[in-house]
Amino acid sequence: MQLQTTDPAITADIEKFERLLAEYLAGQLDEDAFRVFRLNNGIYGQRQGGRNQMVRVKAPYGALTAAQLEVLGRVAERYSRGWGHFTTRQNVQFHFVALEAVPELLRELGDVGLTTREAGGDTVRNVMGCHLAGACPFEVLDVSPWAEATFARFLRHPYAQRLPRKFKINFSGCATDCGQAMCNDVGVVAVSRRRPDGTEEAGFRVFLGGGLGANPHPAQALEDFTPREDLLPTIEAVLRTFDHDGNRHNKLRARLKWVVDTLGIDELRRRVLRERQLLVASADWPGGIPEVVARRGDAPAGAGPADRVSRVGTPVVLRSRSGHDPYERWRAANVVVGAANGSVSAIAHARLGDVTAEQFGALARIVGDLGTGARITNRQNLALRGLRTKQLPELYHRLEAIAMAAPSAELAGDVVSCPGADTCNLAVTQSRGLAEEIARALDAAGLGEVGGVRINVSGCTNSCGQHHLADIGLHGVERRAHGQPAPGYQLLLGGHLGETEVRFAQRALRLPARAAAEATVRLVGRFAHERLAGETFAAWVERAGGAKGLAEDLRDLDVWPTPEQRPEYYVDFGETGPYVAEVGEGECAAS
């Protein structure tokens, strides 16, 4: 597979990293200065300490090529532990990378146009986008080239290097908000408005000040409609305002959402719009239609304007059908008809977001042989796009051969998890272990392919696993029972994102870690049995008595046997010894 010429800017980044790393290892560079530098280059310390590093690779709006997938597999094999990890923010992460090997790893990535630059630290992070953008029948615009233009604009941008805190941008092609724009510092949703002559104008609604973490905030609209030519100036105006007004003295209150709390949304809007008005005086004013948008086009995949307007906001929902034929089950659950021209998309299921070196290589060959596109989803899978119906049987068999054809992709059995205490300094529980246990329990109960239920697990309150957005969310907590520490989880219910609104999941009850899977099975089973036609999980939660009402039906699970009766209650998933909540200094996105 022929590799492209490395971008000179990527080469310069790598040479600087190699130079400063040598100075650090020689004791010539201050620890704090090097820490900030490596974080800004997407290189994180791990729970294990020493020189074990996590390397985070940006995949703007989730897009990956065949050549890039092949190199990611090589990186997993040569530098990590034989596998990589898709994140909820469409990055790829590798753990247990030796610090001294990072420059060589970065060169391999750079050969195929991949970078870790600004994948961490107080920077503009990976620009996200709906994984079905350009292939969704309900979109107003294909936001893919807009996400690409935004990524290119702010990578290495002077304002994007030493912000008060991290800054996240997200794109959705319609009000359904599959890209999760409503919980980001800047969320961009494609919308349309009617002109005086009766025709439709496609553009955007820009939201700002959203965020998750321990204190989630919904994003709020800046204005009713932002024309296409004003989008990049608007995003830059928000970024500059955050740089000017963000809290540089308290990291815990430094995100843009806290600026909303401090100034009020009306004053923040005034400052942003004033900044945008004067941005035309900038030497590199970013107004107008970006070159990549003009070249690639941003026409939607739907049938036409009239049909599109009538269906904006209609959710794209993957649904399972009954039946025993494995191929038909996979096709019903994992395939989405994405465009009026008959092209289709299919989801390759990466359990817990993990992809082995062998799977990366096989996916590279699939993308190359079938001529498809590939995008990481925000539920840690890989969407293969631009397929033809006749290619589906071959695709299924090739995915089945690498254990990525599970028919529960993006359904109940597809549980999302952060890395948890496996590698993260801030986690108090092994969230990955619980996610595995929940998936197994749902499959055993015949509930893994239930649609309309999304289950997310975080190892602490910081919501890297996005538990606040889930229908069923869990975050790790330390419990004490019979005088001993034990792993536990806070259960949350009824999170919902769509129609340019976000409803964060509400607290139900705390549970022993060993009882969390049983609680999940009960909830999914009851929902599958009781739901009305078209009813969402969040609506069912309200009808069934709310989070607190449902908690009462699970109260019998919040029981702690003695260590002698059930010793496993005092050992976390994947551990062999007694539970200990060890929390260190965080370098992750939540700290």
Range of the domain at 173: 133-294
Handedness of CA 131, 136, 139, 142 (dihedral sign): positive
Q: What is the pLDDT of residue 342?
A: 62
Residue 99 belongs to domain with CATH number: 3.90.480.10
Per-residue pLDDT tens for 314-343? Answer: 334 444 444 578 999 999 889 987 555 566
Do 364 and 237 lie in one domain? The reply is: no
Do 420 and 537 lie in one domain? The reply is: yes
Do 258 and 137 lie in one domain? The reply is: yes
Do 100 and 152 lie in one domain? The reply is: no
pLDDT grade for 312, boundaries at 50, 70 and 90: very low
Neighbouring CB atoms inside 10 A of 386's CB total 18
Q: Enter the tokens of residue 173.
A: 């092609």
Q: Enter the tokens of residue 75.
A: 């990186």
- Residue 156 in this model has a pLDDT that exceeds 70: yes
Do 456 and 552 lie in one domain? The reply is: yes
**452 neighbors 530 (Cβ within 8 angstroms):** no
Is beta strand 455-458 parallel, antiparallel or unpaired with respect to 416-417?
A: parallel
Amino acid at 533: A
d(CA 83, CA 95): 9
Do 260 and 147 lie in one domain? The reply is: yes
Q: Enter the tokens of residue 287.
A: 């107004």
Examine residue 406 and state whether it is found in any structural domain, yes or no. Answer: no
Q: What is the pLDDT of residue 137?
A: 81
In three-state secondary structure terms, 416 is strand
Which residues 6+ apart lie within 8 Å of 568 measured at CB? 514
Do 145 and 251 lie in one domain? The reply is: yes
Do 518 and 481 lie in one domain? The reply is: yes
Q: Which residues pair with 492 in a beta bridge?
A: 473, 507
Provide the 8-state DSSP code for 103: H
- Residue 490 in this model has a pLDDT that exceeds 60: yes
**85 neighbors 157 (Cβ within 8 angstroms):** no
**130 neighbors 172 (Cβ within 8 angstroms):** yes
**What region, left, alpha or beta, does residue 403 occupy, with left being phi > 0 and alpha being psi -120 to 50 degrees?**
left
Q: What is the pLDDT of residue 339?
A: 54
Examine residue 224 and state whether it is found in any structural domain, yes or no. Answer: yes
Which residues 6+ apart lie within 8 Å of 353 measured at CB? 85, 86, 87, 88, 380, 381, 416, 417
Kindly report the pTM of this predicted structure: 0.92
Q: What is the pLDDT of residue 576?
A: 84
**Domain count for the chain:** 4
- Residue 224 in this model has a pLDDT that exceeds 50: yes
- Residue 436 in this model has a pLDDT that exceeds 90: yes
Per-residue pLDDT tens for 448-472? Answer: 989 999 999 999 999 899 999 999 9
Q: What is the pLDDT of residue 422?
A: 87
Do 49 and 78 lie in one domain? The reply is: yes
Among 401, 424, 453, the domain-final residue is 401
Q: Where are the beta strands (DSSP E) in 26-142?
A: 43-45, 52-58, 63-64, 83-86, 91-98, 128-129
Lowest mean pLDDT among 1-5, 218-222, 379-383, 485-489: 1-5
Per-residue pLDDT tens for 284-300? Answer: 999 999 999 999 999 99
Q: Where are the beta strands (DSSP E) in 199-264?
A: 200-208, 220-221
Provide the 8-state DSSP code for 568: G
**What region, left, alpha or beta, does residue 288 occupy, with left being phi > 0 and alpha being psi -120 to 50 degrees?**
left
d(CA 26, CA 504): 48
Question: Could you tell me what percent of the chain has a pLDDT over 90?
Answer: 82
Do 530 and 554 lie in one domain? The reply is: yes
Do 421 and 392 lie in one domain? The reply is: no
Examine residue 18 and state whether it is found in any structural domain, yes or no. Answer: yes
307 or 542: whose pLDDT is higher?
Answer: 542
Per-residue pLDDT tens for 19-49? Answer: 999 999 999 999 999 999 999 999 999 988 7
- Residue 399 in this model has a pLDDT that exceeds 90: yes
